[in-house]
Amino acid sequence: GLQDTRTPLVVAVGGNLLNVVLNVALVYGVGSVPPLGIAGAAIGSVVAQALSALVLVAVVLRAARRARASLRPRGGAVLAAARAGVPLLVRTLTLRASLLVTTYAVTLGAVGAEGGGSGADVELATHQLAMTLWTFTAFVLDAVAIAAQAITGRYLGSGDVAGTREVTRRMVTWGVWSGVATG
């Protein structure tokens, strides 16, 4: 909503770099810090994510204060947002379920058909490659969709009906061509 894409990128990159440093230090140990193994990886990830979240919360709070926006939640608005989010929740759950079921089926099929031999390894590796490419493509398309939502929101917020229609038409065109290219 702030039309600021740079700050989340910087925080995400910084948080991930911190995660790498903490994981190496805590998993393998550094100086007087003993190696913690998998627990060190978990601790490093939680610390990096928590610090990233705190930075982003501070950015939002600062912007809200600057805009003199209330930080008090309003029950009706929270319920409206929850109702509006139901289709997204259903989409996310069904997407996750389909990915898990597909992976499970491929794993069972590969192990059952080949007895777990080298043919199974090739099938599983092929499936993993396809899933990686699919996920990458989905993230790219989601990034475009998020940008489109922010741009559309800006036009709607300013009351520019003609601009809203134009940007919506452009985004739908991009979406169609992206779908064709992805397909």
Q: What percent of the chain has pLDDT over 70?
A: 95
Q: How confident is the model at residue 109 (pLDDT cuts 50, 70, 90)?
A: confident
| pLDDT tens figures, 26-46 | 999 888 878 899 999 999 999
Provide CB contacts within 8 A for 44, sequence distance 6+.
19, 21, 22, 23, 25, 26, 27
Give the chain's mean pLDDT: 87
Contacts of residue 153, defined as CB under 8 A and 6 or more positions apart, other chains included, come to 1
The pLDDT of residue 115 is 57
How far apart, in Å, are the Cα atoms of 13 and each of 18, 25, 63, 72, 75? 9, 18, 21, 31, 35
pLDDT score, position 156: 86
**Confidence band, pLDDT 50/70/90 cuts, at residue 10:** very high
Instruction: Tell me if residue 160 falls in helix, strand or coil.
Output: coil
pTM: 0.57
Q: Which amino acid is at 143?
A: A
Alpha helices in the chain (DSSP H): 6-28, 38-66, 75-114, 118-157, 161-182
Residue 24 has pLDDT above 90, yes or no: yes
Strand partners, 30: 33
pLDDT tier at 1, thresholds 50, 70, 90: low
Segment 70-97 mean pLDDT: 89
